[in-house]
Amino acid sequence: MFVIVFRYSAPLETIDALKEAHYANPDGLFARGLARIAGPLEPRTGGVVVADGTREEIEAAVASDPFVTGGAATAEILSFRPVFATMAHDAEDAPAGAGRCGR
């Protein structure tokens, strides 16, 4: 799995203008089904995507992203091995040991 950290280098008006293309890009992380979870950083200085695929697939998808090709953001691709996961929004909602990957 990979974490992609986008860091904005353009004003938010430019980012907002590119947002639909970012999500709809046919060669991108979202359209190719590589993205698993994504969202903006807070404060809004960039965004994070957790993606699954080969490094080559991830690199190609990121290289084609309108934020990157338009010079509006840089992207750092980090590989990681998940060992814990839960989608509960509140720790009280998660059962004991929930999400352990067992690796």
Give the pLDDT score at 86: 83
Which pLDDT value is given to residue 30?
96
CA–CA distance, 19 with 33 (Å, rounded to integer): 17
Global confidence as pTM: 0.82
> Residue 56 gets which letter from DSSP?
H
Residue range 13-42: mean pLDDT, rounded: 96
Residues 95 and 35: their CA atoms lie apart, in Å, by 26
pLDDT at 15: 97
**Predicted local distance difference test score (pLDDT) of residue 93:** 47
> In the predicted model, is pLDDT for residue 60 greater than 80?
yes
Provide mean pLDDT across the span 51-65.
98
Sheet holding 35-40, edge to edge: 35-40, 46-51, 2-8, 73-79
**Residues whose CB falls within 8 Å of the CB of residue 84, separated by 6 or more in sequence, listed in order:** 99, 100, 101
